[in-house]
C-alpha cells in the first residue's frame, strides 16, 4: 500500500467500505471546490449589482413621472382665487421673508464651506487673519450670532420644548386612563328596566333634527336613516332643517320628506327664509317651535350621518334614573376611512379622539366637547344653558361648555357607532380644520369670564381653562408650528442653538405611536402620520391666531363637501325602498301644470353638470416646503444625521400637500 494512502475499514463483513484518497487527488478536489466557490461568489455579486443598477432606472422613471405630474399640477391648479388673500396674510409674508433670508444665508454658508474657513472659535478671531471684507463680515456675523442671537433662540426653543413635554405628558396620562378603562372593562350602565315594547307610552318623546345646507349628495340617505330608527312612531318627530340656497334642491328634499310622511313617518320639513347664524341659527330656529315643549330629548344628526335603527334604543335609556345627565354622545365611524391616504390619516386622529380623549374625559370628569352630531340632548339642559348661540363657529363646543358650567354631566358611548364621511380632498379638510381650531379660541375669549364666575369646583375650572382650552386648543398648534417649522430650520443656520435629537425624533415618534394605538391597522402609516401632523400645524396655528385675535377668517363657515358614500347595508335599504317607493305619477298628481315644468327641471338637476373642479396649489405650504428643504441642505454642511433626514422628509411632506397631491385627485 502506498504511504500516501488512507484505508478505512468497517468490521462488519457484509458492509465493508474502503476509501483511498491520494494527496494529489485531494489537492485537485480542493482546488475545484475553491474555483466553484469563487464563481458562485462572483455570480452573487453580479446579481446584487444587477438589482442595484435596475433600481436606478426605476427611480429615474418615478422621479420623472413625479416631475411631470408636478408640472401639470402647477399648470392646471386653481390658485388665482386665493392669491390676493395669501398676499394679505401676515403668516405667509413672514414665511416668505424667512425663506428669502434662508436662501441668502445658505449661499453664504456654501462659500464659507468651500473656502475651508475654520469657524468653530471665530468669536476669538485675530484681525490679522482676515482674508478680505467678505471674510471679515462673516466672522463678525458669527461673533454677533454667538453672543446675541443664539441665546434668544435657545430660550425660545427651550420654552417650546417645555410646552411640548407638557402636552406629551397630557397625552401619556390620557393613554394610561384609556388603558385603565379597558383593563377594568368600564362601560356606562343603564339604570332601571328597559322600556315596555308593548306599551309605547313608556318611551319618552324624542325629537330628531337633521340640519343640512345644500347637501345634494347625502340628503336622501340621511333622511332614510332617520326614518328607519326603531322607536314608537307616535313618540318621535323628525325635523329636516333645510338651509339650502338652491330652490330646486329645496323641492327635492321637500318631496323626499313628503314621500316618507306618506309611509306613516312623523316627519316635517322646515326651511328658513332668513338664514343667519349657520348651523346654530338653524337649530335655534327649530327649537323655538311650540310643539318642541312636548318632547323630552332631541337627537342631532348631521346630513352625512347614518345611524343604525337601534341608535335611540342604545342612547336614550342612559338618561333613565340620571336627572343630572344632559348629553349622551355616540362615536363616529367612517365609511370611507380607506379611500385614500388623507382619510387614513384622519381616521388615526379621530380614533384617538374618540377612543382616548372622549372616553377618558367622560369617565373621570363627566365632561367632554360635544361633537355636534350623533348625540342626544336633554332638552331641559339645552334650555337652562341658554340654547344654541350664534356667536362662534363651534356651536357644539359652546353649548357643551355652558351646560358643564350649569352642572350637567355627559356620557360617552364608545360602543355605539354612527356611520359618516371623512373629507376626501385636502381643500375640504383644511377648511374643516380651520373652523375647528379658530372657533375654540373665539369661545375661550367669550367664556373665560363665565368660567371664572361659575359655581363649579376649582379643579373643574382649572381643567376647562388649562387643559381643555389652553393646552389642547392653543398650546398644541403653537408649539407644533413654532418648534418644527420655525425654530428647527432656524437652528440649522444658528448651530449654537441646535435642538437635541430626542426633541425632533424620539419623543415625537413615541407620541405618534401612542396616538396610533387605537387604530392598530394604521401602524404602517406611522411616519406619514407624524409628518402630516406637523404639516397641518401651519393651518391650525393660523386658525388659532385668527380665532384668538378675532381676525376675519375666524368667522368663515364652509360646509364640508360630501361625496354621498354609503355602506352596503345602506345601499340595500335604498334599493328596497326604491322598489316599494312612490312612482313619479304620484309626484305629477301632486303638482300643477306649472309644477310639471318644474319636475322636468328637477330631473335635469338630479345629475347636475358642475364646472370641472381642479386641484389647487397652497402657497403657504409650498413656501414652508422650500424653507425646510433649504435648511436640510444647510444641515448637510454640518453633517447632521437625524436633523437632515427630518427636515428633508418634512419638507417633502409640505411639498406634497402644497401641490395638493394628497387626498382626492381631480385634475
Which residues are known catalytic residues?
Answer: 243, 396
Question: Which residues are within 8 A (CB) of 51 and not within 5 positions of it... i.e. 6 or more apart?
Answer: none
With CA atoms as reference, report the closest residue to 117 among 146, 139, 141, 145. 139
The sign of the dihedral angle between the CA atoms of 141, 146, 148, 154 is positive
Pick from 641, 643, 492, 498: which is nearest to 161 by CA? 498
CA atoms within 13 A on the CB side of 81: 5
Is residue 384 helix, strand or coil?
A: helix
Residue 404 C-beta-side C-alpha neighbours within 13 Å: 27
Close Cβ partners of 50 (under 8 Å, ≥ 6 residues apart): none
Contact 301, 226 (CB under 8 A): yes
Q: 191-195: long-range contacts at Cβ-Cβ below 8 A with a sequence spacing of 24 or more?
A: 191/320, 191/321, 191/322, 192/317, 192/320, 192/321, 194/317, 195/317
Give the CA-trace dihedral at 408, 413, 418, 423, to 10 degrees. 80
CA proximity to 383, closest of 271, 268, 448, 298? 298
Nearest to 529 by CA among 506, 511, 503, 502: 511
Alpha carbon 332 to chain centroid, angstroms: 14
* DSSP per residue, 189-243: ---SPPP-TT-GGGSPPEEEEEEESS-TTTHHHHHHHHHT--S-GGGEEEEEEE-
Do the beta carbons of residue 531 and residue 180 sit within 8 Å?
Answer: no
Q: Output Rg (C-alpha) for the chain, integer angstroms.
A: 33
Sheet holding 267-271, edge to edge: 267-271, 236-242, 206-212, 297-300, 375-378, 325-334, 409-420
**DSSP code for 425:** B
Q: For every residue of 301-319, which 3-state class applies, written as one string?
A: CCCCCECCCCHHHHHHHHH
The helix (run of H) or strand (run of E) holding residue 411 is strand 409-420
Q: Which residues contact 138 (CB under 8 A, 6 or more apart)?
A: 108, 112, 117
Residue 626: which of 637, 638, 616, 618 has the closest Cα? 618
The 3 state secondary structure assigned to 144-184 is HHHHHHHHHHHHHHHHHHHHHHHHHHHHHHHHHHHHHHHHH
| Total residues belonging to the chain | 667
CB 621 within 8 A of CB 598: no
Q: Are 95 and 620 a contacting pair, CB within 8 Å?
A: yes
| Cα–Cα dist 9/156, whole Å | 86
Amino acid at each position: 500500500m502506498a504511504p500516501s494512502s488512507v484505508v478505512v475499514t468497517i468490521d462488519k463483513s457484509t458492509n465493508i467500505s474502503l476509501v483511498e484518497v491520494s494527496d494529489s487527488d485531494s489537492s485537485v478536489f480542493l482546488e475545484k471546490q475553491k474555483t466553484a466557490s469563487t464563481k458562485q461568489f462572483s455570480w452573487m455579486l453580479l446579481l446584487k449589482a444587477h438589482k442595484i443598477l435596475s433600481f436606478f432606472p426605476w427611480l429615474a422613471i418615478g422621479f420623472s413621472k413625479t416631475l411631470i405630474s408636478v408640472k401639470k399640477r402647477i399648470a392646471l391648479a386653481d390658485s388665482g382665487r386665493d392669491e390676493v388673500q395669501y398676499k394679505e396674510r401676515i403668516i405667509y409674508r413672514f414665511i416668505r421673508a424667512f425663506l428669502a433670508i434662508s436662501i441668502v444665508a445658505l449661499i453664504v454658508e456654501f462659500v464659507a464651506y468651500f473656502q475651508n474657513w475654520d469657524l468653530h472659535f471665530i468669536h476669538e478671531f485675530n484681525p490679522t487673519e482676515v482674508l478680505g471684507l467678505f471674510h471679515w463680515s462673516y466672522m463678525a456675523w458669527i461673533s454677533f450670532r454667538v453672543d446675541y442671537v443664539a441665546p434668544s433662540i435657545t430660550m425660545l426653543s427651550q420654552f417650546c420644548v417645555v410646552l411640548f413635554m407638557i402636552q406629551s405628558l397630557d397625552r401619556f396620562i390620557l393613554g394610561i386612563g384609556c388603558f385603565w378603562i379597558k383593563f377594568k372593562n368600564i362601560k356606562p350602565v343603564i339604570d332601571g328596566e328597559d322600556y315596555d315594547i308593548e306599551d309605547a307610552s313608556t318611551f319618552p318623546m324624542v325629537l330628531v333634527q337633521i340640519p343640512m345646507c345644500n347637501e345634494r349628495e347625502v340628503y336622501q340617505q340621511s333622511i332614510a336613516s332617520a326614518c328607519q330608527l326603531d322607536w314608537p312612531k307616535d313618540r318621535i318627530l323628525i325635523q329636516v332643517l333645510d338651509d339650502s340656497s338652491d330652490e330646486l334642491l329645496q323641492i327635492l328634499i321637500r318631496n323626499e320628506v313628503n314621500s316618507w310622511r306618506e309611509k306613516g313617518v312623523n316627519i316635517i320639513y322646515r326651511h328658513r327664509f332668513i338664514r343667519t347664524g349657520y348651523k346654530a341659527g338653524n337649530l335655534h330656529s327649530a327649537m323655538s317651535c311650540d310643539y318642541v315643549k312636548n318632547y323630552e330629548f332631541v337627537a342631532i344628526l348631521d346630513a352625512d350621518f347614518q345611524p343604525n335603527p337601534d341608535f335611540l334604543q342604545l342612547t336614550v335609556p342612559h338618561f333613565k334614573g340620571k336627572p343630572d345627565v344632559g348629553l349622551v354622545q355616540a362615536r363616529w365611524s367612517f365609511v370611507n376611512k380607506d379611500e385614500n391616504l388623507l382619510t387614513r390619516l384622519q381616521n388615526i386622529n379621530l380614533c384617538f379622539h374618540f377612543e382616548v380623549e372622549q372616553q377618558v374625559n367622560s369617565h373621570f370628569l363627566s365632561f367632554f366637547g360635544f361633537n355636534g352630531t350623533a348625540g342626544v340632548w336633554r332638552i331641559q339642559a339645552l334650555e337652562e344653558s341658554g340654547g344654541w348661540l350664534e356667536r362662534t363657529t363651534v356651536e357644539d363646543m359652546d353649548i357643551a361648555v355652558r351646560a358643564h358650567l350649569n352642572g350637567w354631566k355627559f356620557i360617552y358611548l364608545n360602543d355605539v357607532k354612527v356611520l359618516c364621511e371623512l373629507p376626501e380632498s385636502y381643500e375640504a379638510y383644511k377648511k374643516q380644520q380651520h373652523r375647528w381650531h379658530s372657533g375654540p379660541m373665539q369661545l375661550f375669549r367669550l367664556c373665560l369670564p363665565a368660567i371664572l364666575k361659575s359655581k363649579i369646583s376649582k379643579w373643574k375650572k382649572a381643567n376647562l381653562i388649562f387643559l381643555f382650552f389652553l393646552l389642547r386648543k392653543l398650546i398644541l398648534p403653537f408649539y407644533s408650528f413654532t418648534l418644527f417649522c420655525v425654530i428647527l430650520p432656524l437652528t440649522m443656520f444658528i448651530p449654537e442653538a441646535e435642538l437635541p435629537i430626542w426633541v425632533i425624533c424620539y419623543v415625537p415618534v413615541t407620541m405618534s405611536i401612542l396616538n396610533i394605538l387605537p387604530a392598530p391597522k394604521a401602524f404602517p402609516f406611522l411616519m406619514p402620520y407624524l409628518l402630516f401632523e406637523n404639516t397641518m400645524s401651519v393651518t391650525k396655528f393660523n386658525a388659532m391666531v385668527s380665532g384668538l385675535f378675532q381676525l376675519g377668517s375666524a368667522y368663515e363657515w364652509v360646509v364640508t363637501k360630501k361625496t354621498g358614500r354609503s355602506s352596503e347595508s345602506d345601499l340595500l335599504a335604498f334599493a328596497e325602498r326604491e322598489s316599494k317607493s312612490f312612482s313619479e305619477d304620484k309626484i305629477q298628481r301632486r303638482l300643477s301644470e306649472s309644477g310639471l315644468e318644474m319636475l322636468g327641471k328637477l330631473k335635469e338637476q338630479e345629475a347636475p353638470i358642475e364646472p370641472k373642479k381642479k386641484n389647487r396649489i397652497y402657497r403657504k405650504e409650498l413656501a414652508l416646503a422650500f424653507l425646510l428643504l433649504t435648511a436640510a441642505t444647510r444641515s448637510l454642511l454640518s453633517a447632521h444625521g437625524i436633523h437632515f433626514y427630518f427636515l428633508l422628509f418634512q419638507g417633502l411632506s409640505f411639498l406634497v400637500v402644497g401641490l395638493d397631491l394628497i387626498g382626492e385627485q381631480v385634475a
